[in-house]
């Protein structure tokens, strides 16, 4: 439970290796790359919901709570 293992940690390690390989083989006068420049962090897309559907779902939930 203490160790930071998981997909995020694996991705961070891969970014570090890519930066190491790039920087070891880059031209002498170019700037070194940071690990954050490789493999951007993926975030799942947020589905856009119709506001009217959200209102109806909330109304149904409140009705169930009131009648529950």
* Mean pLDDT of the 9-13 span: 87
Per-domain boundaries in the chain: 1-44
2 vs 9, higher pLDDT: 9
Q: Which of 34, 7, 31, 6 is nearest to 18 (CA)?
A: 34
Segment 33-67, tens digit of pLDDT? 999 899 877 777 887 888 899 899 999 999 999 98
User: What angle is formed at CA 58 by the lines to CA 53 and CA 64, rounded to 5 degrees?
Assistant: 125
At 6 the pLDDT is: 78
At 64 the pLDDT is: 93
Question: Does the global pTM surpass 0.85?
Answer: no
What secondary structure, in 3-state letters, does the chain show? CCCCCCHHHHHHHHHHHHHHHHHHCCCCCCCCCCHHHCCCCCCCCCCCCCHHHHHHHHHHHHHHHHHC
């Amino acid at each position: 439970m203490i160790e930071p293992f998981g997909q995020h940690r694996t991705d961070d390690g891969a970014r570090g290796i890519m930066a190491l390989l790039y920087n070891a083989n880059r031209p002498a006068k170019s700037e070194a790359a940071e690990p954050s420049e490789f493999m951007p962090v993926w975030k799942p897309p947020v589905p856009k919901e119709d506001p009217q559907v959200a209102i109806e779902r909330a109304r149904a939930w409140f009705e169930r709570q009131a009648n529950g």
